[in-house]
Every structure is written in C-alpha cells, then in structure tokens.
Chains A and B, each alone.
Chain A
Amino acid sequence: KAGVTQTPRYLIKTRGQQVTLSCSPISGHRSVSWYQQTPGQGLQFLFEYFSETQRNKGNFPGRFSGRQFSNSRSEMNVSTLELGDSALYLCASSTGTSGRPYNEQFFGPGTRLTVL
C-alpha cells in the first residue's frame, strides 16, 4: 500500500505571495490532517478534513486554509506569506472513523517551505 505523498517537497516563496501544498493520503483513508513544524514551536496542528469537511481546526490565522476533494486528496493554502511561515508542513492520514485506527495517523515526508 502506498504511503502518504506530499508535493512539492521544497518551495521557496517571497513575503506576500501565496502557496498551495498538496497531500495524497493512503488509499482508503478519509481523514487528512495538516501540521506545521518549526524548531521553536514544534509540531502544531493546523486542521483536519474528513469527507471533504473541515472537522477540527487548530489556532492558526485565517491565512491558513485547506480543502479536501472527493478522492480524499487535500490541499493547504497559505496566503500573504510571512517570514514566520517558513516551516516543514506535514500532512497525515488516518481512516478517520471511530475506533482504534482512527487515532493512528501516518505522515507524509512533508513540504519544506522557505519564505524570503
């Protein structure tokens, strides 16, 4: 079974631009969660999508948004980029349904975003 894939792996943008990151979950998984990882703040939850609906949301500004498609693939968008948005953005997939596997999230390799 193929793992979680994220594209692109690396991105360089300048302040004020916007960026879209993509995540393809493990086949059969309906939940996709996004995280931001920085040396100072660690891994922080952005949001989770399940069946094309945002189900949970972390404490990030509205510049961070996402969506999920009917095939469970998800995109994350960051508008008006700031220097502090430089980070590794990780997505994780899970079955998303109640029961044990719901909590087992499997991560992709991440997208390294650098904002200049």
Chain B
Amino acid sequence: GQQLNQSPQSMFIQEGEDVSMNCTSSSIFNTWLWYKQEPGEGPVLLIALYKAGELTSNGRLTAQFGITRKDSFLNISASIPSDVGIYFCAGPPNTGNQFYFGTGTSLTVIP
C-alpha cells in the first residue's frame, strides 16, 4: 500500500526554537493535510493544502505543498510547550479516495 514517510521520527527542542518536519510519498497527492494528535485524543486538523507550491499558515504554523506533489513540509516557529504532540501528514493520492497517514513526528518541547 501507499507509504508516507515522515522525518524526523522524533524531535526534542528548546522552547522558542523553530521546528521543521517533512513528509514524502511514492505517489502524487492531490491534497496534503497536517494533523496534530495529543495523548488520548483524536488527530486535530491544522492545515490543508490543495495545489503544488501552495504555502499556507495557521498562526505559528506554516505548511507547503511540494512542487513535485510527492512531498509536504510543516514548520512551527517559536515553539511553546503546548506544541507537544505527534504531527501527522495525510492525504489521498491522485488515484482513489483512500486516505493515508504518515508515520508521524513526535515533538517534545523542553521549557
């Protein structure tokens, strides 16, 4: 099946630092979504991207739809303790409607 690889797998950063993570696929995607999941909860949608090259922000979060349509990037600026969680990329490849999720990036922010 489809594999979405996220890197890094985990990050330990100091409060105030910027964070960058990415997601790559073997297939072209029509949409890239970024979610955050906290322990015991379902994923929460952060940002949705719909066309190659698109750059979208949501507060301190900025995500980009890669021009090859096989990757996406998420940046968090000036991290704070409540940014802690697992970040997932997700989306449907251009063939079919099934959703695939990435392997996740676990973020720990040290105060």
Contact = CB atoms under 8 A, between A and B. Distances in A.
B97 A48 contact: yes
Interface of B: 1, 30-31, 33, 35, 40-45, 48, 50, 88, 90-92, 96-104
Scoring B44, B90, B97 by chain A CB atoms within 10 A of each residue's CB, the highest score goes to B97
Contact of B92 (A4, A44, A103, A109): A103
A107 B43 contact: yes
A55 B40 CA distance: 28
B23 to A, nearest CB: 13
Nearest to B100: A45
Given A103-B91, A104-B48, A109 B99 contact: no
Interface of A: 4, 33, 35, 42-45, 48, 55-56, 58-59, 90, 92, 100, 103-110
B2 to A, nearest CB: 10
Given A4-B42, A42-B104, A90-B42, A105 B99 contact: yes
Contact of A42 (B50, B96, B98, B103): B103
A42 B104 CA distance: 8
Nearest to B40: A109
A56 B50 contact: no
Contacts of A33: 99
20 contacts: A4-B42, A33-B99, A35-B101, A43-B101, A45-B100, A45-B101, A48-B97, A56-B96, A56-B97, A56-B98, A59-B1, A103-B48, A104-B48, A105-B33, A107-B35, A107-B43, A108-B42, A109-B40, A109-B41, A110-B42
Contacts of B96: 56
B90 to A, nearest CB: 8
Contacts of B102: 42
